[in-house]
Amino acid sequence: MNLIFLGAPGAGKGTQAKRAVEKYGIPQISTGDMLREAVAKGTELGKKAKEYMDKGELVPDEVVIGIVKERLQQPDCEKGFILDGFPRTLAQAEALDEMLKELGKKIDAVINIAVPEEEVVKRIVNRRTCKKCGAVYHLIYAPPKEDNKCDKCGGELYQRDDDKEETVRERYRVYKQNTEPLIEYYRKKGVLYDVDGTKDIEGVWEEVVSILDKIK
């Protein structure tokens, strides 16, 4: 199954994608995670990406397209993959079509997780991420058992720089302008499935599973 999880920042793409990795045994390809890793390692790519990420802006298309192209050619993507946070612009979606054509693959489903701005802001400003394993918590809805400590690996939890309110609002604006048009792009291709992202994690997951079980 070749999937895209589409939605505003904080819609729950990453959370749902992680569950789908477990259930369906296909890898999650999160451009945000890959870029953060590059930033943490201080690579050339990381240095370039950080400027944009800190402001809540999109990293240039050619940069992310290059990363995804390389990643999709890894052997673990043969059985399928979940794109999380990519594509985010029309140019990225078109580049993805090209890449998949070359690889003899196609997208089976685009899961569009819809959540309004105020809910996104409420979710993200309370979001905490593990420095070590990337696990995500929410101080109110899904708090860690111990303050500031990851339940899974004991790593320290932190607030991503781009999870501050002002940056979140900018990221939402960027989403509306650049990424929302992709909903129609994929609807026209007949692969779009809408999910109500305002439900709790379990409720959204039920909807996602019912869609994926049908197309698998």
Tell me the catalytic residues.
Answer: 13, 88, 127, 160, 171
Structure tokens belonging to residue 136: 């995500």
Contact pick of 2, 5, 9, 191 for ligand AMP (by CB under 6 A) = 9
Both ends of the chain: CA-CA distance in Å?
Answer: 6
Between CA 145 and CA 168 the distance in angstroms is 26
Task: Give 86 or 186: the residue with its C-beta nearer to ligand AMP.
Answer: 86
Please state the closest distance from residue 23 (CB atom) to ligand AMP, in A.
21
Between CA 168 and CA 199 the distance in angstroms is 20
Is 86 a binder of ligand AMP (CB under 6 A)? yes
Between CA 4 and CA 83 the distance in angstroms is 5
Alpha-helical runs (H) found in 104-199: 117-125, 165-174, 181-188
The residue assigned the tokens 């890959």 is 34
Is 112 a binder of ligand AMP (CB under 6 A)? no
Task: Give 58 or 110: the residue with its C-beta nearer to ligand AMP.
Answer: 58
Contact 8, 194 (CB under 8 A): no
Q: For the window 20-59, what string marks contact with ligand AMP as x by the rule CB under 6 A?
A: -----------xx--x----------------xx--xxxx
Task: Give 35 or 208: the residue with its C-beta nearer to ligand AMP.
Answer: 35
Please state the closest distance from residue 36 (CB atom) to ligand AMP, in A.
7
Is 163 a binder of ligand AMP (CB under 6 A)? no
Between CA 147 and CA 14 the distance in angstroms is 22
Is 204 a binder of ligand AMP (CB under 6 A)? no
For binding to ligand AMP (CB under 6 A), which residues are involved? Answer: 9, 31-32, 35, 52-53, 56-59, 64, 85-86, 88, 92, 162, 171
